[in-house]
Amino acid sequence: MSRRATTPVTRVAVLGAGSWGTTFGKILADGGANVVMWARRPELANEIHTGKRNTKYLPGINLPRTMTATSHLAEALEGADQVYLSIPSQSLRENLAGVRPLLEGSSVPVVSLMKGVEKRTGLRMSQVIEQALGCDPARIAVASGPNLALEIAQEQPTAAVISSISPETAEIVARAARNRYFRSFVNTDVIGTEFGGVLKNLIAVAIGIVDGVGYGENTKASIITRGLVEMTDFAVAQGAQPETLQGLAGLGDLIATCQSPLSRNNTAGRLLGQGYKFQDVVAQMQQTAEGLASVAPILQLAKASGVQMPIVEQVKRVLDGTMNPREIAPHLTTDDDTPQGERTQNGQTGSGGALWRSLQRAFDQLRHGGRGSGLA
Catalytic residue ranges = 200
Distance CA 175, CA 375 (A): 9
Phi and psi for 109 in degrees, rounded to 5?
A: -65, 140
Distance CA 25, CA 177 (A): 9
Question: Exposure of 147 by Cβ count < 10 A (0-12 exposed, 13-18 middle, 19+ buried)?
Answer: buried
Q: Where would I find the beta strands (DSSP E) of 28-109?
A: 35-38, 67-70, 82-85
Residue 142: beta bridge partners? 112, 163
Buried b (16+ CB within 10 A) or exposed e, 3-26: eeeeeebebbbbbbbbbbbbbbbb
Cα separation of 227 and 120, whole Å?
A: 24
Q: Which amino acid is at 164?
A: S
- Determine how β-strand 158-163 pairs with β-strand 140-144: antiparallel
* 159 membership: H or E segment, kind and range: strand 158-163
C-alpha–C-alpha distance, residues 227 and 199, integer Å = 9
